[in-house]
Amino acid sequence: MTIDSIEATAIEIPLPRQFAGSVYAMTTRCAIVTRIRTADGLTAEVYNGDNREHGAELVRLIIEEIAPLVLGQDAIAYERLWQRMFAITLPNRDRKLAMEAIACVDTAVWDLLGKRAGLSVRQLLGGHRSELPIISIGGYYAEGKTLLDLAKEMEALRLWGMGGCKVKVGGLSPDADAERVKAAVDGAGPGFMIAVDANRGWSIPDAIRFARLIEHLPIAWFEEPVRWDDEARGMAEVRRACRIPINAGQSEYSARGVRRLLDAGAVDIVNFDASEAGGITEWRRAADACALVDVRMAHHEEPQIAAHMLAAIPHGICVECFADPARDPLWPHLLPDAPRPKGGMLAVPDRPGFGITLDRTAVAKYAIATAEAR
């Protein structure tokens, strides 16, 4: 299964309005589409990531630096390919960006492996179950948004087939955000999962105060509660101070970064992002490390890929998406036959590989950079 060519396309879709968390605001939905063709006629086609600023640079990295390392190589030897690609991270550079580029190619390699075997990636990785719960990222900050609006948003998500919502916090005072979370819980009703995500927005004392204000509520997890500069120690402190499970890992870009969180006793759940941190091969290492210490796995966004990984393992919790098409137009634009959530569950397609069929007209419409190497 010799790799014959690699093509990468950066896409950027303008959003109709701003979506704000505690420390960021989104106005576009971005991704990298990667295609790999083999000498025996197989084609991988995947999309990864939500990189907001560096799409064209990722395309350059894939074509100019990674492609020479993998063209002519056997895609079955995915560990050897990964080590060859990892070499681009060794010089002094933006290593996170390099790991994102590796992730794009590694994900396409796993799509090839599934297509060669006639199996889905879920089956290749362990096949633990065929469906899993799905929740939406939501509860964004918006000017004029009321507590009643937030409660109605949860009702709408349930009608869209979601099993829960990850609500944004960390942008207001602990007391004000606690009121928002209570409104979300009340609007959601019983059996609807509510998690909260501060996106590293609070100091340790404010994160602890917030946790204590909401820990009487049925909260699934408290994600990235404290600021980035000392977060492993800070999360461990928050974890000791409250009963809510602590979730983090999306800001790490290697499995060894996840090990740092585990060693610090900082997390109950890890949402390591394969699309930003070296792909499925590196994600498996992080998942195995978590399994050994009874830490559960989630994933940051990217349901078209994450569903396969999380459904494959016994300690996967749920997959997350953006249910609101205004926040994520990729599913309707790029995946016309994607599985749709129903009753809070998502069935994972068992088509070979990731089972992704992209709308090429939409890809061409939103492309900002594209290149191919042979």
In the chain, the domains with their CATH numbers are 3-119+356-373 (3.30.390.10), 122-347 (3.20.20.120)
From the list 98, 77, 79, 76, the residue with the least C-alpha distance to 89 is: 98
In sequence order, what are the residues at sequence separation of 6 or more whose Cβ sits closer than 8 angstroms to the Cβ of residue 216?
Answer: none
How large is the average pLDDT for residues 59-88?
98
Residue 35: count other Cβ atoms within 10 Å of its Cβ.
18
From the list 180, 222, 179, the residue with the least C-alpha distance to 201 is: 222
Q: What is the pLDDT of residue 137?
A: 96
What whole-number distance in Å separates Cα of residue 37 and Cα of residue 112? Answer: 9
Q: What is the pLDDT of residue 49?
A: 84
Average pLDDT, the chain: 95
Assess contact for 320 and 305: CB atoms under 8 A: no
Q: What is the pLDDT of residue 52?
A: 76
Asked if pLDDT for residue 338 goes beyond 90, the answer is: no
From the list 314, 258, 317, 267, the residue with the least C-alpha distance to 291 is: 314
Q: Outline where the chain has alpha helix (H).
A: 55-60, 67-70, 78-86, 95-117, 121-125, 147-159, 174-188, 204-214, 231-241, 255-263, 279-292, 303-312, 330-334, 360-366
Asked if pLDDT for residue 10 goes beyond 90, the answer is: yes
From the list 9, 7, 28, 27, the residue with the least C-alpha distance to 18 is: 27
Assess contact for 192 and 220: CB atoms under 8 A: no
pTM: 0.95
Asked if pLDDT for residue 200 goes beyond 90, the answer is: yes
Q: What is the pLDDT of residue 79?
A: 98
Q: Name which of 21-30, 334-343, 362-371 the model is least confident about.
A: 334-343
DSSP state of 88: G
What whole-number distance in Å separates Cα of residue 46 and Cα of residue 361? Answer: 15
Asked if pLDDT for residue 325 goes beyond 70, the answer is: yes
Assess contact for 320 and 138: CB atoms under 8 A: no
Q: Name which of 165-179, 208-222, 329-343 the model is least confident about.
A: 329-343
Q: What is the pLDDT of residue 332?
A: 64
